[in-house]
């Protein structure tokens, strides 16, 4: 099979993996004429998303789509009838370098089906990353998916060459994992995540110590470790809609993963029924908007100070599911109207962030501007606020909430009336 055909099979097989954003790595560049690639801002890594929201700035491929496991939800499972292919280590290295030099990609996202054994496969992935870094001095971004049950030593080696490592949690519950991926072990997934966290923490601490030594005046020559392990941290991916888990359950698990293992990101991948799908799976994909709402809710958890309960108990009937019609922040606001209106001249940053239509940047602008004078609605416009969006929820100098009724149904209809009024978390 020629290389182009392999690439077409193995890039297509990798498209089900959502977890490939490339943020948060260390700066590394090839100025000075040595090395290939860069992760410094504006030169190497950038975020680029396909219309379906998936990142396309990395060469995103599988080493192979052969697999000895038979996870029901996966197109590459052993019993699937798909055409199989496998790259050699050298082929992946050459493709990465060539694509990088042609400016097609900013880095590599590499995953794999399991061939022979977990350790054998993981070793191949580590070889690719090592060859890129050591032999070719590649300084671009590398994200490696670790293989379930691979040895600690191999995972540790992977972290020395990769910017980010990830281990898929796969499904929101232990029971679902048992049902759909019986060869995978939830205990060992958590164990690997814990190990990654420890290595990452150790590496961060070492870097901190090095900085202190380097910046200290009259520094003595002290030996400090250069150990850098997965500088962009770890991430994971969860398939949603393959089992009956509610959004509340999914967000509770995400919250736990963020807290316990310091995940940089939990990615949500809407289950897509695959050709020749296993009979124990739903025939239909969940609405894509569910994935979108989960990302919005995840953002609220991480950056806006919301709790899981606040976000997911807003749907009528307490189903634990997010409202698909409106974003989770607006849904929370409509269930907590007694929190509003809030006065933009007195509210804390935390309170401002709870106003639908006010995001982190706008909140900072408001706080900065009101140091000089009390703000009117017209001043808010200059801060980048859409008055139409925030008017029902705020007070400013000379005006209280506008004529829109501050009651849940009226507001819900008001915001649903036009798709253009759908709020954005990032305003």
Which residues of this protein are in contact with ligand SF4, per CB under 6 A?
Answer: 67, 69, 71, 74, 76-77, 113-114, 181
Whether 197 and 227 have beta carbons less than 8 Å apart is answered as: no
Question: What is the smallest separation between the CB atom of 6 and ligand SF4, expressed in angstroms?
Answer: 16
Closer of 33 and 187 to ligand SF4 (Cβ): 187
User: Read out DSSP for 363-422?
Assistant: HHHHHHHTTTSPPPHHHHHHTT--HHHHGGGEEBTTB-S-SS--SHHHHHHHHHS-GGG-
Q: Which helix (H) or strand (E) holds 107?
A: strand 107-111
C-alpha 11/C-alpha 108 separation (Å) is: 12
Question: What is the smallest separation between the CB atom of 69 and ligand SF4, expressed in angstroms?
Answer: 4
Question: What is the smallest separation between the CB atom of 181 and ligand SF4, expressed in angstroms?
Answer: 6
Question: What is the smallest separation between the CB atom of 65 and ligand SF4, expressed in angstroms?
Answer: 7
Q: Measuring CA to CA, how many Å separate 332 from each of 113, 233, 352, 360, 416?
A: 41, 31, 14, 17, 15
Closer of 91 and 183 to ligand SF4 (Cβ): 183
Find all residues with CB under 8 Å of 52, minimum gap 6, and list them. Answer: 288
C-alpha 332/C-alpha 353 separation (Å) is: 12
Question: What is the smallest separation between the CB atom of 17 and ligand SF4, expressed in angstroms?
Answer: 9
Query: 234: which 2 tokens?
Result: 């770890």
C-alpha 186/C-alpha 350 separation (Å) is: 36
Q: Which helix (H) or strand (E) holds 196?
A: helix 186-215
Residue 13, classified by CB atoms within 10 Å of its CB into exposed (0-12), middle (13-18) or buried (19+), is: buried
C-alpha 143/C-alpha 102 separation (Å) is: 20
Closer of 39 and 80 to ligand SF4 (Cβ): 80
Closer of 59 and 150 to ligand SF4 (Cβ): 150
Closer of 38 and 166 to ligand SF4 (Cβ): 166
Question: What is the smallest separation between the CB atom of 267 and ligand SF4, expressed in angstroms?
Answer: 14
Closer of 114 and 355 to ligand SF4 (Cβ): 114
Closer of 24 and 273 to ligand SF4 (Cβ): 273
Closer of 114 and 333 to ligand SF4 (Cβ): 114
Q: What is the CB neighbour count within 10 angstroms for residue 322?
A: 26
Q: Measuring CA to CA, how many Å separate 187 from each of 177, 245, 259, 349?
A: 11, 19, 17, 40
Q: Residue length, the chain? A: 427
Closer of 89 and 181 to ligand SF4 (Cβ): 181
3-class secondary structure per residue, 336-357: CHHHCCEECCCCCHHHHCCCCC
Closer of 147 and 196 to ligand SF4 (Cβ): 147
Strands 342-343 and 58-62: unpaired
Query: 17: which 2 tokens?
Result: 């993996």
């Amino acid at each position: 099979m020629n290389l182009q055909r392999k690439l077409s099979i193995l890039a297509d097989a990798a498209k089900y993996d959502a977890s490939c954003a490339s943020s948060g790595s260390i700066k590394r560049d090839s100025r000075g004429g040595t090395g290939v690639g860069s992760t410094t801002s504006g030169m190497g890594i950038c975020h680029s998303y396909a219309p379906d929201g998936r990142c396309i700035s990395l060469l995103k491929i599988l080493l192979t789509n052969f697999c000895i496991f038979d996870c029901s939800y996966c197109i590459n499972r052993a019993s699937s009838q798909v055409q199989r292919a496998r790259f050699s280590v050298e082929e992946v290295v050459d493709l990465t370098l060539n694509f990088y030099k042609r400016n097609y990609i900013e880095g590599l996202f590499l995953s794999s089906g399991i061939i022979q054994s977990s350790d054998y496969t993981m070793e191949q992935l580590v070889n690719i990353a090592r060859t890129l870094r050591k032999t070719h001095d590649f300084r671009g971004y590398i994200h490696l998916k670790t293989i379930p049950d691979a040895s600690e030593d191999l995972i540790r080696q992977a972290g020395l060459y990769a910017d980010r490592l990830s281990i898929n949690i796969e499904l929101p519950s232990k029971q679902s994992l048992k049902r759909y991926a019986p060869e995978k072990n939830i205990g060992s997934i958590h164990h690997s995540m814990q190990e990654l966290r420890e290595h990452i923490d150790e590496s961060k601490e070492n870097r901190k110590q090095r900085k202190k030594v380097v910046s200290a005046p009259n520094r003595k020559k002290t030996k400090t470790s250069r150990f850098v392990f997965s500088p962009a941290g770890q991430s994971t991916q969860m398939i949603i809609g393959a089992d009956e888990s509610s959004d509340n359950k999914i967000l509770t698990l995400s919250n736990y993963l963020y807290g316990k293992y310091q995940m940089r990101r939990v990615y949500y991948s809407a289950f897509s029924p695959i050709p020749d799908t296993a009979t124990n799976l739903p025939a239909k994909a969940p609405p894509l908007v569910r994935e979108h709402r989960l990302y919005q809710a995840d953002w609220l958890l991480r950056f806006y100070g919301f709790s899981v309960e606040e976000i997911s108990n807003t749907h009528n009937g307490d189903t634990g599911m997010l409202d698909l019609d409106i974003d989770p922040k607006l849904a929370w606001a409509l269930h907590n109207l007694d929190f509003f209106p809030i006065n933009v001249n007195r509210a804390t940053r935390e309170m401002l962030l709870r106003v639908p239509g006010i995001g982190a940047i706008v909140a900072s602008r408001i706080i900065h501007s009101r140091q000089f004078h009390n703000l009117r609605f017209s001043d808010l416009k200059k801060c980048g606020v859409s008055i139409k969006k925030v008017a029902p929820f705020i007070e400013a100098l000379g005006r209280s909430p506008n004529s829109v009724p501050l009651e849940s149904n009226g507001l819900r209809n008001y915001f649903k009336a036009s798709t253009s009024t759908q709020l954005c978390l990032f305003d």
